[in-house]
Structure 1
Amino acid sequence: MADTTAADAAELEPAEISANPHYRGADFDLRRIRRSVFSALLQARGRFGGKRIAAIDADGRELSYNDIIKAAFALGHALKQGTEPGEAVGILLPTGVGSIISFYAISAYGRVPAMLNFTAGDRALKAACKACKCKRIVTAKRFIELGELDELEAMLAQDHEIVHLEDVRENLTLGDKIAAAVGMVAPWAVRARPSPDSAGVYLFTSGTEGDPKGVVLSHSNLLANVEQVRDHVRILPTDKVFNPLPTFHCFGLTGGVLVPLGLGVPTICHPTPLQAKTIVKRIAETGSTILFATDTFINQYARAATNGELNSLRFAVCGAERVKDETRSMLRRKFSVEIVEGYGLTEAAPVLAVNQPDNNRPGTVGQLMGGCEARLIPVEGINDGGQLHIRGPNIMKGYIRPSAPLVLEAPVDGWHDTGDIVSVDDGGFLRIRGRIKRFAKLGGEMVSLAVVENCATSLWPDSMHAAAALPDKRKGEQIILLTEYAKADRADLIAFARNHGINELSIPRKIIHVEAIPVLGTGKTDYGKVQRMVAELMGEGVAAPVPETAG
């Protein structure tokens, strides 16, 4: 069946779109995903060798597959005491071998890792734990100390058991050590065998809609996405993946841990994406060839790098937010490195589409992953594109909420509404036009707030900008732009729009200078806080929150 173009889709009724989805058949063997994530790790060891380096920590410590599996069996045997199979165990750790081992340790014995966002605050974390009925949280004393998270830990300790990795290591029992020894030679005698369709991880939204939602991804969801990436992007045996993104974010977990370990290439961990100068030096020292990042962070790395510190990269994979033209050209000009832009959602484990190094269309997020279906639902006021719904083996089991712990809200018939407005070209490349909640309706026309921000970025590329919409009695809504650029002038935006053929409805009613645009832990703009800031600055009180961006 031929792909339906975006223009065709816009003219169809939803039922017809459902019958004529954009589709790419699965090229991978589905039998590979019918196992647990820990079983997949064991299989990778068998394929690539136990002595092969799997992960390198921030201090340079190298761990082989054998090291990770042995540690996971020992730690997991200790951590399982006092918990039941299928029970959630929280992980409050930065990106590093401690987080990787904890993830696999909890999985090895049939418990479910709940990846907790330590930047979210105690209220959001408690809500996340409530949603998945998590009673125990694994962390590290050194992390709490260096991150100055003593107050957060104390708040969590009121309702949860806090377990420090240092204490567990020092107090491993003979039984824990025997379990590790047996697991190394006869893993089938020790490890659990959860259903591939059971929960493999709990991840959480940023909570900009109120309490965070839990996203339940099965073992098969996660492994399907690994296989989709394997078949879509050519990763070489000589590659090294550099991952500074947090493992509490699906991009950092799947892209930075599950993909490289599943494909036999080392993952080089860094605990925070904020240390630009240190990161570029580590990329050079380790000879990393693939970098996972967001536009915000890779822009900082390109500026911080000197003396060819990024020259070892084959390409950089960017998601979570739109890649700016300035970022792309700077990386190409200074280091001859191409950015491969992709599109993902936590609900999709997370990769839905991505460009390829040898088939890269800047301005798009590439083609759909193998096995994924998509349909575009027409939206009033938008002629080019529609609201994207997706279905496939990587799509979540469903949501869970603090208001109804572990009560699964599954996608209807497997279809998930992304909330994004997307157009598709003749080659099947997706172009993200913005979230449906990030369009303003002015005089009967739909105006993308992302376009407003793009105009500002083109004029003032060294600063961050964020747009929001507020009610307007005359036009329905009005657009307000927050900017970090102190000299931003609305007249310049008007001139830019006229010179580039941009609808003048995209010109904000007012521009407000702020010291800093609020961002999430992943580096992308926190639009919930932006909306509240705009409402307060305009004297409108607290406006309705805006859902988090995809990615």
Structure 2
Amino acid sequence: MNPTTTGLLWPRYSGPGDLAEIESVPLAERGLPESTYALLVRATELWPDRNALTVLPEAARWREPLRRTYSELLTDVHRYANLLHRLGIRRGDAVALMAPNCAELIPATLAAQLAGIAAPINGAMSGRHIAELLRRSGARVLIAAGPELATETWESALALADDGLLDAVFVLRPTGAAEPHPLPVIDGVYLGYLDELAAEQDSIAFTGQPPASSDLAALFHTGGTTGVPKLAAHTHSGEIANAWMIAANPLLDADATIFAALPLFHVNALVVTLLAPLFKGQPVVWAGPLGYRDLALYGEFWKIVAHYGIAAMSAVPTVYAVLAQCPVDADISSLRYAMVGASPLPSAVRANFQTHTGVTLVEGYGLTEATCATARSYPDRPRPGAVGQRMPYQQVRVVRAGDREPLPAGAIGVLEISGPTIFAGYVTDRNAHGHILDGLGTTVDGWLDTGDLAHIDADGFIHLHGRAKDLIIRGGHNIDPALIEDALLAHPQVTAAGAVGRPDVHAGEVPVAYVTLAAGAEITESELLDWASEHVPERAAVPKSVVVLDALPVTDVGKPYKLGLRADATRRELQDALGQVTGVHSVTAVVEDGAIVTTVELDDATDGAAAAILGRYAIRWKVIVRQ
């Protein structure tokens, strides 16, 4: 029986009331492919000559793409995977990938999942972090950007090879590049251009054993900017199930062209814009190596949408805040909706974008530890304030912090998730049997603690209330940072906002805010503070200060980094508090193991006075006395 024609694969999924009917059929009976490789094989069998990929070399050259059909994509995957297999990569071996998006990286990622386990790495991380991720994953083979594609990433790859951390480096080139540059020789390292080295490999079939559903498919790093990011292990079954849940959306048919610009070390890029389109044979247009970080993209964006007939896109809120200021200079009627996730969507960004473009912003919710997406919204049935309804076969609940007691509908607590997309655990080490996985306390009895505060309404829609650790607690009163951020983002010259708690001797902490401004903005910090005073709905939530920054800090995987702002707020507060103490030379505040530690350097004679002031704050601090 072919699930494609029986309706088992594509049940009705048009509205919130369809979940019960969908889940009346066990997921195991839906006929899903066993692995990401099986998914690609299925797509190629169904649509061999259909265009699968359209890859732009860069935003400025968006009219010069490289295209690949499904059969050509599978051919590349076979050649790359067979090269890895010949080199000794087997099912439990990780292959690291460190490069910005390009035409070769897409099949290389799928090939790594076919031959072994893909371990994408953000090349912008420090060399120490990258080296530790390689050690933890066990990867001795690196597929990396070459000198023409990303100079700094290439230099990092060479440094790793020189340090003896790699056995092989396969080099990627820019999309549509001409003749390759000569590469250096490194003793003991097999190094060369991936496409050239794989040219003679079998392109018809994979010579090794294809993966099973329970096998690991990928190791995605996730976490903050201090300490080495955690490695979350994904199974093939988890990625396939999540990709199917996304593809089941009936608003996007086989002719819907998807736009992809997030980096492939991000789960959204892999699951939403690579795997999910394979289910229906949807073409995907991939932006150049800089993706949404390419400033030239915004001046050309609406022309790209019109030219390629883009039907859907996926991005983070800051991208939509910028696009809301870009004149719509083309016919964008093909764009049915735009998906947004990774961080909460401020209401002002939604309103500005939709008013400016007429395109509906559709919120979603997910995290790496649940593979990618857990909740989706319905464009034709907006639910203001909600990030969406849970997806089929995933369960959600809200529990009381501490004892994990389930709470009723409408109550605010910590959001938990269970179901087929929950990750296999974090990679903590390796032994003779493979990767050692541990949930590290985030999973208990099959339920994943998201760390997000939320309530679930009577219809099963999730409403977020910030990160549990990001709450601002002013004299026992809980303040949601979003109240402040939404108010500031409503100002036409503000492009991003972050609110955190600043230490306070009376209230424990008080709210302060940080913003970035549009190019050419002339608004002052004082004027922004006045704006916040008028627009923040709760008096207790009105920030005590507004600071303008060139950019708000983000984690190594591109998410807002509130701890960085908290550290800055702590430093500013203590500098002011110690301003009248003579002999204070410096005040610093840094994040150590998830906590903010303040260091004050001073003369011995002032030690007691400074300590007396510092002791009034509920913070970690230490004093360094100059000798």
TM bin, normalised by shorter chain, reads 0.7 to 0.9
How far apart, CA to CA, are the structure 2 residues paired with 1:318 and 1:173? 39
- Shift of residue 279 of structure 1? 3.6
Deviation at 1:198, TM superposition (A): 1.8
Change (3 A) 1:191 1:236: farther
Are the counterparts in 2 of residues 208 and 527 from structure 1 also a CA contact under 8 Å? no
Correspondences of 1:192-203 after superposition (within 5 Å): 192-203=209-220
The residue aligned with 1:495 is 534
Q: Please give the alpha-carbon distance, in whole angstroms, between the structure 2 residues aligned to 1:282 and 1:133.
A: 40
Q: CA deviation at 1:254?
A: 0.5
Higher mean alpha-carbon deviation, 340-349 vs 121-130, is at 121-130
1:542 is the counterpart of 2:564:
no
1:132 CA displacement: 1.2
Query: Structure 2: how far apart are the matches of 1:24 and 1:514?
Result: 50
Judged with a 3 Å threshold, the aligned counterparts in structure 2 of structure 1 residues 545 and 421 are, in CA distance, closer, same or farther, namely farther
- Offset at 1:325? 2.8
Give ranges in structure 2 of 5+ residues lacking alignment: 1-18, 58-64, 174-192, 518-522, 575-586, 596-627
1:291 aligned residue: 313
The 3 A distance-change label for structure 1 pair 442 and 513 is same
Query: 2:79 is matched with which residue: 74, 79, 83?
Result: 74
User: Per the alignment, in what secondary structure is the counterpart of residue 248 of structure 2?
Assistant: helix
- Number of aligned residue pairs: 510
Q: Offset at 1:28?
A: 7.0
Greater percentage in helix: 1
**Which secondary structure does the structure 2 equivalent of 1:339 belong to?**
strand
Alignment RMSD (CA, Å): 2.8
Residue 135, structure 1, aligned to residue 132, structure 2: no
Q: After the TM superposition, which residues 353-502 of structure 1 pair with which residues of structure 2 at under 5 Å, given as runs?
A: 353-379=375-401, 384-401=411-428, 406-410=435-439, 411-459=443-491, 462-484=494-516, 487-489=524-526, 490-497=529-536, 502=537
2:89 to 83, 105, 112: 83
Cα distance in 2 for residues equivalent to 1:78 and 1:403: 24
Rounded Cα–Cα distance in structure 2 between residues aligned with 1:532 and 1:437: 14
1:238 aligns with 2:255: yes
Structure 1 residue 402: deviation in Å?
A: 6.4
Residue 273 of structure 2 is aligned to residue 256 of structure 1: yes
23-32 vs 385-394, which moves further: 23-32
Asked whether the 8 Å contact 2:312–2:336 carries over to 1, the reply is yes
Residues in 1 aligned to 2:217 and 2:225: alpha-carbon distance in whole angstroms: 25
Q: Does 1:217 align with 2:234?
A: yes
Separation of aligned partners in 2, 1:467 and 1:210: 23
**Retained in 1: the 8 A contact 2:27–2:393?**
no
Distance 1:532 1:393 in 2: 38
Deviation string, structure 1 residues 268-306 (Cα, Å, up to 9, x no partner): 111311232244332222111111111111222332243
- AA at the equivalent of 2:82: H
Please point out which of 196, 202, 208 is paired with 1:170. 196
Task: Check the 8 A contact 1:92/1:118 in 2, yes or no.
Answer: yes
In structure 2, the residue matched to 1:180 is: 203
The CA deviation at 1:492 is 3.3
Q: How does 1:16-35 map to 2 (within 5 A)?
A: 26=23, 29-31=27-29, 32-33=31-32, 35=34
Could you tell me whether the CA contact under 8 Å between 1:384 and 1:423 is conserved in 2? Answer: yes
Letter matched to residue 235 of structure 1: L
Say yes or no: does 1:101 pair with 2:101.
no
In 2 relative to 1, CA 546–281 (structure 1 residues): closer, same or farther, beyond 3 Å?
A: farther
Cα distance in 1, alignment partners of residues 302 and 532 from structure 2: 34
**Shift in CA distance, 227/547, structure 1 to aligned 2, threshold 3 Å:** farther
Match of 1:317 in 2: 339
Residues 130, 530 of structure 1: alpha-carbon distance in 2 compared, 3 angstrom cutoff: farther
Larger Rg: 2
Question: Following the alignment from structure 1 to structure 2, what is the Cα–Cα distance between the partners of residues 514 and 238?
Answer: 43
**So what's the TM-score if we normalise by structure 1?**
0.85
* Alpha-carbon displacement from aligned partner over 1:295-348 (angstroms, at most 9, x marks no partner): 111222332243235332011111112223333233333332111111110111
User: Does the 8 Å CA contact 1:355/1:366 hold for their aligned counterparts?
Assistant: yes
Return the alpha-carbon distance in structure 1 between the equivalents of residues 147 and 331 of structure 2.
29
Q: Percent identity?
A: 23
1:75 positional shift:
1.4
Counterpart secondary structure, 2:362: strand
Shift of 1:91: 0.9
For each residue in 1:69-108, what CA deviation from the matched residue of structure 2 results, as whole angstroms up to 9, or x when unmatched?
Answer: 1111111111231333310001112223322100121222
1: distance between equivalents of 2:509 and 2:590? Answer: 13
Q: Is the alpha carbon distance of 1:25 and 1:372 closer, same or farther for their aligned partners in structure 2, counting shifts above 3 Å? A: farther
TM-score, length of structure 2 as denominator length: 0.75
Distance apart, 1:216 and its partner CA = 0.5
**Structure 2 CA distance, aligned partners of 1:493 and 1:131?**
45
